[in-house]
Amino acid sequence: MKVLVLNCGSSSIKYKLLNMADSSTIASGAMEKIGLKGSFLQHQNKGQEKIKLEGEVLDHQVGIEYIIGVMTDPDIGCIKTLEEIDAVGHRVVHGGEEFKGSVIINDAVIAKMEECIDLAPLHNPPNLKGIYAVSALMPTKPQVGVFDTAFHQTMPKWSYMYGIPKSLYDKYKIRRYGFHGTSHSYVSRHACEFLGLDYNTTKVINCHLGNGSSICAIDGGKSVDTSMGFTPVEGLLMGTRAGDLDIGAVTYIMDKENVSPEAANTLFNKHSGLAGMSGVSSDLRDIEEQALNQGNEDAMLALTVFRSRIKKYIGAYIAEMGGCDVLTFTGGIGENSIIEREALCKNMAFLGIELDLEKNNIRAKDTLISSDNSRIKVCVIPTDEEYMIAEETMKLIK
């Protein structure tokens, strides 16, 4: 079975075509700058060089048509005809309380997804555009929606309710939803398989550290708490997102700087975090270079806040779950930064976390990096959200 996975953003479409018979990737790529000047597609067939194609792409439907055209092209493509694709799986950011798992997309599901737009006005509309485009271009292909929020729908009420008047939850469904659910689910399950542990009885803390970062406590295969909240801005210090912040500071800034809710959203989502604190960059490699090699104090402070937040959440989740068996690192930073993993696990032996520095000297590979003495097993597990989406798609249409 071949599954096409689509991740449609506001001006981009990332895609991967997977052969589920042997879990291999047939091709992958990304169309960037949709609706803007200079749209381009980067496409790569398995085992071949990446190719870059330029062309004017005005909307997502044209973008998907373009991608399909390249995939079926006799010279540069990877399949003969569209018929070879059995189903399409879509990443959908917000499923609200409505979607507790992945679903086969039909008109009723689309209507419910449209109701969730209010909760994620930046993310859900482009996800839906991808669904509308596939419906128009390949009306008979089964489509499946896989939600970033669904895995966290198992959180107990005390994890997801905020200390605000209940009427606001009743009226607007304001609560913690959590994101990166596909990644947290995939990595925690895969870590248990890798270590030969029973997922249903293991306590895992997964640190998904990338440009966006979140931590999740998973007890017996169920998300019981996570650091992102009503929106992805809560929790850890991220590339450009502030993470945890006193509400009093938010209203004070809005008042003093005469900032509208929309501008405040931009400030705390796009100009804060590592980038805002350091004035250097949102990219952790630049922060590490400035902080550790160039003596930049602002970058060092940003890096220290980044690390300290993660440690606080690990401690909190161990306390919340009454223990932890496995700590996993994933995402661009979690998979690749040997320095950060070492810093995050330093002085944590009292909690049962001890790294083996030799074993930690790896990037992006399933690896046990804790010492033999470590009570908690620490692993690097590269995330594979596309594979997880393809697997969910296959399960549902079967």
Q: Which residues bind ligand AMP (CB under 6 A)?
A: 210-211, 239, 283-285, 331-333, 336-337
**What's the token pair of residue 171?**
């009226």
Least distance to ligand AMP, CB of residue 210, Å: 2
Nearer to ligand AMP, 95 or 331 (CB): 331
Nearest distance from C-beta of residue 107 to ligand AMP, angstroms: 34
Place of tokens 């980067």: 42
Nearer CB in complex with ligand AMP: 211/371? 211
> Which CB atom, from 334 or from 352, has the smaller least distance to ligand AMP?
334
The catalytically annotated residue of 73, 148, 283, 298 is 148
Known active-site residue 148: yes
Tell me the β-bridge partners of 381.
none
Q: Provide the pairing of β-strand 13-19 with 24-32.
A: antiparallel
Question: In sequence order, what DSSP letters do the residues of 32-75 get, joined into one string?
Answer: E-TTSTT-EEEEEETTS--EEEE----SHHHHHHHHHHHHT-TT
What's the CA angle centered on 257, arms 254 and 258, to 5 degrees? 70
Whose structure tokens read 């001006």? 11
Q: Which two tokens stand for residue 195?
A: 């270590």
Structure tokens at 355: 């790294």
| Beta strands 13-19 and 2-8, pairing class | antiparallel
Q: From the CB of 211, what's the least distance to ligand AMP, in Å?
A: 4
**What's the count of helices (H) and strands (E) in the chain, helices before strands?**
14, 14
The whole-angstrom separation of Cα 280 and Cα 340 is 18
Tell me whether residue 123 or residue 175 sits nearer to ligand AMP (CB atom). Answer: 123
Amino acid at position 109, single letter: V
Residue with CB nearest ligand AMP?
332
Q: In 10 A of CB 358, how many CB atoms?
A: 9
Nearest approach, Cβ of residue 383 and ligand AMP (Å): 8
Cβ closer to ligand AMP: 219 or 386?
Answer: 386
Shortest distance, CB of residue 332 to ligand AMP, whole angstroms?
2
As annotated, the active-site residues are 148
